[in-house]
Structure 1
C-alpha cells in the first residue's frame, strides 16, 4: 500500500499549486461570497483544463477514470488555496452517482462529459449527513439522495454558513427518485475529498502561522523564537503528518473504517491548525482584511460536513466491533 504520492502525483500537485497561486483565488472567493459566480466558474474551467474535474468520471463518459488517490491530490490543493465551490460534490459524489445510472437517467450521458469539461458544477443533499445542498444557486445540477435512491432536486430556502463562500439550501424532490446502488460509495468518496480539503487547509494555516512567527517581533525578538510558539506549531505539523497517510490509505482501501478514520484525523488536525493560527496571529487573525479567516471558517465548516467527527468515530467503532465479532 502506497501512503505517499508518486512522482507523477507530486508533479500534478505542483502544477495545481502553481496555477492556483497565480489565479488570484482570494479575489475569486470574495466575488463568490458576494454572489458573483463568474470568476469562480472561470477558475473551475481552468481546473478542468488540468483534468481535475474529470478525475472520477469514467473514460467512456469523457473522463480520466483516475484513482481515488488522484482525487486526494487534487482536493488537498483545492483546500490549500481555499477554492470556493462544491468541490466534493462536483469532483467525486455526483459523478459517482451519475456513472452508476443509465445514460438517459438524469441525462447522465450529457452531464458527465459537461462535468468533466468544467462546463457544469454539481451539488448534492443526502440527509442526514448532508441535510442541505451547498452552493446550489451556483450549480447546474442539484441532486437529492435518500438511502439507495437519487433524483433531481428543487432549491428551497437558503441558509448562511460560517464560510462566506458557502451557502446552504434546503431542497425537495423535483422528479422521480431512481434506484442507485452507488449512494453509499458516493458519500464515502465525498467524505474522502472533504478530508483531503481539510488537510490542505490545515497545511495553509500552518504555513501562514510559521511565516507570521518569523516576522512578528515582540519583546525585541521574532515570536517564532519563543519555545512555546515553536512547540505549538510543531504539534500542528505532527498532527497533519499523522493524518496524511490515513487519507492515502483510505483512498486505496475505500473501507468504511479507513474513510471515517481519515475524516476524524483530518478534522482534528485542521482544527488544531486553526486554533494555533489564531493564537499565533492574535487579534489580527480575526479581521476579514487579513484573509486568515478564509481557512479558519472553511476548516470549521468542512469538519462538520460529510459526517461530523462524532458520526465518523461511531462508524469506526461499529466497524471495529464487527471485526472483533462482538455483535
Structure 2
C-alpha cells in the first residue's frame, strides 16, 4: 500500500495553489480584511473560477459534468484553501454540487446551518437546513460573517464537513509554519537571524510536529472515511491551526498584530473553524467511545 501522493494528486494541489496565488494572494487577503466596517462581499468572479477549476464538482462523476475524483483529492484542495484563508462557505457549496443547481459551476453560493450558526447568509443563494429566523452576530474573523439561527432543529454535521474543515485547519497550520520560518530567517537581532536562537528553533520545531501529526490524521481519515479517525483528524487539525498561529505570533512579536501581517487572520479563522461542526468535546466523545469498543 502506498501512502505518498500520486503525480496527479501533486499536480492537482499545485494547480490550486497557483490559482489562489494569482487570484487571492496575501495582499488581497489583507485588503479584504482591512476593508471598511460591514459584512465583506464574496468575490463571485473568484467563486466561478473555482467552479471552472473543478473545486466544487471535484467528486461528481464525469458523466454528470464533474471531475470524478474522491475525498482524498478534495482534502488536498481544501488544504490549499485553508492555507490561503480563502473566504466563503466552501464546504457547503462543495457538498451541494450535483444537488443544487449552479453549485458545481460556482454560479450559486450555498451555505448551511451549522448547529446554531450560519456563515455568509447574506451572500448565499441557497441555505441547507431549516431555521425560523436569523440575526447577525459579530464574528471574531472579519472574513467569516455569521448569523445566529433561531427556531430550527440542531443537527450534527456530517463526517465530510468535519473532514473538509479539518483540511482547512491543516492548510492554515502549514501556512503559519511557513511564515514563522521565513520571518525567523529574515529578522535579525544582535546581528544574527532570530532563527539562530534556541527558543525560536524550539517553537518552529513544535509547529512542524503539529503540522505533520495533523496531516497524517487528515489524510488517513480521507482514505478510510472512518468516524473515529475523522474525529481524531478534527482534534489534531484544530490544535495545529490554533497552536501554530499562536507560536507564529510569538515569533513575529508585536508585528504580528498589525494588519500588514497575515498571522492574526490565521488565528482568528482557526477559532471560527474550531467551533464549526461542534466543539472539541463532541469529537473527544467519539474517540472515547471508539477506545471503549476496542478495549471491550
Residue 141 of structure 1 corresponds to 126
Deviation (angstroms), 1:47:
1.3
Deviation (angstroms), 1:322:
2.4
Q: Is 1:53 aligned to 2:56, yes or no? A: yes
Residue 145 of structure 2 corresponds to 167
Residue 277 of structure 1 corresponds to 248
List runs of 5+ in structure 2 lacking aligned partners.
none
Residue 109 of structure 2 corresponds to 121
Residue 90 of structure 2 corresponds to 87
Deviation (angstroms), 1:173:
7.3
Contact 1:136/1:155 (8 A) holds in 2: no
Structure 1: how far apart are the matches of 2:203 and 2:14?
28
Q: Deviations over 1:15-60 (max 9, x none)?
A: 111111111344267447743525x221121111211111233545
SS in 1 for 2:127: strand
Contact 1:256/1:319 (8 A) holds in 2: no
Deviation (angstroms), 1:121:
1.4
TM-score of the pair, normalised by structure 2: 0.90
Alpha-carbon spacing, 1:42–1:154, altered in 2? closer, same or farther (3 Å): farther
Q: Is 1:22 aligned to 2:22, yes or no? A: yes
How many residues of Structure 1 are paired with residues of Structure 2 in the alignment?
291
Residue 8 of structure 1 corresponds to 8
Structure 2: how far apart are the matches of 1:307 and 1:4?
31
Structure 1: how far apart are the matches of 2:211 and 2:40?
33
Residue 180 of structure 1 corresponds to none
SS in 2 for 1:52: coil
Matches within 5 A, 1:219-298: 219-298=190-269
TM-score of the pair, normalised by structure 1: 0.82
Structure 2: how far apart are the matches of 1:170 and 1:272?
27
SS in 1 for 2:148: strand
Contact 2:245/2:264 (8 A) holds in 1: no
Alpha-carbon spacing, 1:172–1:30, altered in 2? closer, same or farther (3 Å): farther
Contact 2:61/2:68 (8 A) holds in 1: yes
Contact 1:4/1:245 (8 A) holds in 2: no
Residue 116 of structure 2 corresponds to 131
Structure 1: how far apart are the matches of 2:161 and 2:30?
21
Q: Is 1:313 aligned to 2:284, yes or no? A: yes
Q: Please give the root-mean-square deviation of Cα atoms over the aligned residues, in Å.
A: 2.3
Alpha-carbon spacing, 1:170–1:36, altered in 2? closer, same or farther (3 Å): closer
Structure 2: how far apart are the matches of 1:42 and 1:29?
18
